[in-house]
Amino acid sequence: MVRPLGLLLAFPIDCPRAACAAAREELRVPIFVLSSFGFVSDFVLRISDFPLCHMHTDAPIMPATPPPGRRAQPHLLRWVLVGMLGFFFTIAIGVTYGILHKRSIERKCDLLATWVKTTHPAGAYPSIALPAGFADMSEDHTVNAVVLPDGRVVLLLRTSLGWHHNWSGTVYCTTPLQSADFGQDANGRPTINIKGLDDHYITEKASNHLYHVAFDLG
């Protein structure tokens, strides 16, 4: 039950905080009614949060509670920051996965090159059947390998086979390739000119040791 507003004026000058709090709570209902009709909306909302004890005592003024609409900005900013962090976190995961995946391929290619070098003398080998531990490195389970006289080993692995003998794959060399090892095909596309490797062109350089390559009849 709401008491008359005159009762609030009956409090002594040094009213206890509990009494002031009670008076404030009883003011909220009429104030809310007035504000709902739009008479004193913003002003009334500010007055309703003003500490009544300050009107009778020397208590410090407490800051007014901001209207509900003004609290949306920090929450919106928080969501924007969370979204940005999620975006950059996703990119970091993708980049990290790509680096680790490339290093995993290079390590496996290096092990395969060591096996080829220890089991085959210098020369070109168009199609060596891959051993059990390396069979998943190419779709046809073979490797086109070249063991050079200087000790380098170059591998060509077909990782995807297409129509009309088209394919894509990787070329790996145990040491970084030199400028003299590169050339161009009839269409002006870059190639790796190591005698004994199947015809191909470079689609992407993954590292100094690893290149993505492809072949098509076009």
Q: Quick check: 40 and 34 in contact, CB under 8 A?
A: yes
All structural domains of the chain with their residue ranges: 5-65, 104-215
What is the rounded radius of gyration, in angstroms, for the C-alpha atoms of the chain? 39
pLDDT at residue number 78: 79
Nearest-angstrom CA–CA distance, 18 and 207: 75
Q: Is 56 helix (H, G, I), strand (E, B) or coil?
A: coil
Q: In the chain, what percentage of residues exceed pLDDT 90?
A: 46
pLDDT at residue number 95: 72
pLDDT at residue number 93: 81
H or E element that contains 212 = strand 210-215
The encoded tokens of residue 126 equal 């168009």
pLDDT at residue number 61: 55
User: Furthest-apart CA pair in the chain: how many Å?
Assistant: 110
For the chain, the distance separating the N- and C-terminal CA atoms, rounded to the nearest angstrom, is: 90
Please list the ranges in the chain whose pLDDT falls under 70.
Answer: 1-74, 97-102, 218
Which residues in 1-15 are b (16+ Cβ under 10 Å) and which e?
Answer: eeeeeeebeebeeeb
pLDDT at residue number 90: 86
